[in-house]
Amino acid sequence: MSSKDLDKDGIDNIDNESEKDTEKENIDRKIPTGSKFAQKISDDAPLNLAKMYQDWFLDYASYVILERAVPHRNDGLKPVQRRILYSMRRMDDGRYNKVANIIGNTMQFHPHGDASIGDALVQLGQKDLLIDCQGNWGNILTGDGSAAPRYIEARLSKFALEVLFNNKTTEFKNSYDGRNQEPVTLPVKFPLLLAQGAEGIAVGLSSRILPHNYNELCDAAVAYLNNEEFQLYPDFLTGGYIDVERYNDGERGGAVKVRANITKLDNRTLLIKDIPFGKNTASIVDSILKANDKGKIKIRKVDDITAQNVEIQIQLAAGVSSDKTIDALYAFTDCEISISSNCCVIENDKPHFLNVSHL
């Protein structure tokens, strides 16, 4: 063997040892060998941060918009909600299932943690439309949380079984790991998005669609099929009064004012029976106490005795006008709030800003 061949073999051995060292370093750093991350770390050239932001951050933003925060126009569901309902349909035998089991089954399709699935499931159950709940599911009026998933149970409601599923018209795709098939969207026969409402914050945009009354949606659907005009306004489970002058059919930039229902029991006692959407009795009481501390209102005591229905009693200080106190409660507390609407949905893999009539 010539010296030239020896030199060549020596260089090859050095290269092989260098590659092994690089692989060992990548393993120590828990970086997959041969990945673009390992290549960039091992290169001597400086990293191009601008290029990284253009590629990686844009991918992240697109993922959050399409796969997490914004509902789809076809079925009105976010991906986690769709996966929960589909998983419950596969498990359905007419009996209740522990929520912990539903969460575990849904993780076949959802690449994120069990906490996000559990929270989304509880929110669906509290809307009292698609899920038949059993156990302590919390209270949207008081803000109390639900019991742990191992203590509460759920099954699909008869309404959900009727309007959500049809395998013959459902398009499926691979799940995140390719082991299962999940629906792209569900073939919903009802304007579910407008009935439930939706709220999500993505990267660079947000979506907030207010809930509407079930019966009014049915009437609007009939009017639409008959080519008749219709008008839809929000309706809330928490009750209260609403001013829809600036609603603008739910388009971006529209807003509604929502007021609590405050009545007089007597000249020294006020009673709050309905609260604004998105608030609970605890936050209402806190805002009243803060307004009292700032001198905006003068009260003696606040009692929250809410059970099945909202009931907050306000004891006024001596010599204070009840009418003026009601006006001050609307002006300086959460008894009156403004809720903006931003009807953003996913359609054809892109976010679109629409209005309620289009939906």
**Which residue numbers are catalytic?**
151
CA distance 207 to 10: 63
Nearest to 346 by CA among 79, 116, 50: 79
- Tell me how far apart the 2 most distant CA atoms of the chain are, in Å: 112
Nearest to 341 by CA among 230, 213, 211: 211
CA distance 246 to 257: 9
DSSP state of 249: G
CA distance 102 to 310: 31
CA distance 136 to 152: 6
The structure tokens listed for 131 are 């899920």
Q: How many CA atoms lie within 13 A of 66 on its CB side?
A: 11
Cβ–Cβ contacts within 10 Å for residue 133, how many?
21
CA distances from 283 to 140, 250, 303, 304 (A): 12, 26, 13, 11
Through-space distance between the first and last CA atoms of the chain, rounded to whole angstroms: 80
CA distance 314 to 285: 9
Is 245 exposed, middle or buried (CB count within 10 Å of its CB: 0-12, 13-18, 19+)?
Answer: exposed
Beta bridge partners of 200: 207
What amino acid occupies position 63?
Y
In which residue are the tokens 């207010």 written? 210
DSSP, collapsed to helix, strand or coil, labels residue 258 as strand
